[in-house]
């Protein structure tokens, strides 16, 4: 088999969500230096929600996106530094600033039904000489054929790698594999897979994606990431090797980076708690994680009830304001029952 796989580490972007976006530029440099030494070819950095997201609404980062990019670029010898661009949050000005700071790759992320929103940033980045990867977030929301149709749009705009993205950690291996296989039948560019671990099958999903044609796979050290976190980069590398693929990295150095560099920076281990598991079960975006916990405490309503109702209403990222509406509504129902 020996399929060559490009590992992309997202510890310094998706992992930012686990530390409230508070990694310093020096810490980013230290982690990036270790990942580079381990042979990770692409390292994603910046605010956890994407470039331009540092704000009261999404969380204020410890440094600017450009500072993070410069710190990472200065620390590596061969790794490419990537940033995440979310239309509606990021701007072309943000992207140009990160490119000038040394980012060579941009990952343009849209909801899986809204690939057309990626056209402008993809074309702009390609014109500026950047490599473009494109994310179909919340990929579980579409059946394989419909997801592949969205991927075809991204390829027509110029995306060089298209990702099936399990933003909610809602997929299981068979479902992940079917989606990647459908894309492989539809587009000719490289395919990637980004796993979240809400159901505990992030590594399994990534392996299934590779078996069905993905050659780019994301991970994060120690599983650091939004909600239940991501597939662990160091575990992913070993699992790929054991499955007969070529992860292209020094697995022992990578394990050392996870244990000796990343672990001391973590406030707590990345675990699958009740909220994270229910987000995966309900198929909700990871940005619902902390606001739902706060709303549950404020309104005296179980986290479980809020998340299941939000899932029933089929809400997506950007509709986090519905958390309060649902919590208040459920609280009112509880009060009515108690007084009846």
Binding-site sequence positions for Mn(2+): 14, 194, 196
φ, ψ dihedrals at 162, nearest 5°:
-120, 130
- Looking only at the bridges linking them, the beta strands covering 6-12 and 80-85 are unpaired
Q: Is the dihedral of CA 251, 230, 120, 149 positive or negative?
A: positive
CA distances from 220 to 37, 86, 165, 288 (A): 16, 20, 14, 20
Q: How far is residue 273's CA from residue 198's CA, in Å, rounded to a whole number? A: 9
Which of 317, 325, 313 is CA-nearest to residue 285?
Answer: 317
φ, ψ dihedrals at 217, nearest 5°:
-135, 135
Q: Which residues are annotated as a binding site for substrate?
A: 13-14, 167, 194, 285
Q: Residue 83 gets which letter from DSSP?
A: E
Q: Which residues are annotated as a binding site?
A: 13-14, 167, 194, 196, 285
């Amino acid at each position: 088999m020996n399929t060559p796989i490009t590992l992309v580490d997202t510890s310094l972007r998706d992992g930012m969500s686990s530390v409230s976006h508070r990694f310093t530029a020096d810490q980013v440099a230290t982690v990036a230096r270790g990942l580079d030494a381990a042979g990770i070819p692409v390292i994603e950095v910046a605010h956890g929600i994407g470039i331009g997201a540092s704000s009261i609404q999404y969380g204020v980062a410890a440094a600017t996106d450009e500072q993070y990019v410069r710190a990472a670029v200065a620390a590596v010898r061969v790794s490419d530094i990537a940033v995440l661009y979310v239309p509606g949050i990021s701007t072309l000005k943000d992207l140009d600033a990160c490119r000038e700071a040394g980012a060579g790759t941009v990952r343009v992320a849209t909801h899986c039904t809204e690939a057309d929103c990626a056209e402008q940033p993809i074309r702009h980045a390609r014109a500026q000489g950047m490599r473009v990867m494109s994310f179909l977030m919340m990929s579980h929301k579409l059946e394989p054929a419909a997801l592949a149709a969205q991927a075809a749009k991204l390829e027509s705009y110029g995306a060089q790698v298209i990702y099936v993205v399990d933003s909610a950690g809602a997929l299981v291996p068979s479902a992940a594999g079917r989606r990647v296989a459908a894309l492989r039948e539809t587009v000719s560019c490289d395919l990637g897979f980004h796993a979240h671990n809400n159901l505990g099958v992030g590594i399994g999903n990534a392996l299934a994606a590779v078996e069905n044609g993905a050659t780019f796979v994301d991970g994060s050290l120690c599983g650091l990431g939004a909600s239940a976190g991501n597939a662990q980069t160091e575990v992913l590398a070993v699992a790929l090797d054991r499955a007969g693929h070529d992860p292209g990295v020094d697995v022992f150095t990578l394990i050392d980076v996870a244990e000796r560099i990343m672990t001391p920076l973590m406030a707590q281990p990345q675990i699958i708690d009740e909220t994270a598991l229910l987000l995966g079960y309900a198929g909700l975006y990871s940005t619902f994680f902390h606001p739902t916990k706060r709303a549950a405490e404020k309104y005296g309503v179980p986290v479980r009830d809020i998340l299941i109702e939000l899932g029933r209403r089929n809400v997506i990222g950007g509709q986090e304001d519905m958390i309060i509406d649902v919590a208040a509504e459920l609280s009112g129902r509880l009060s009515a029952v108690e007084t009846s």
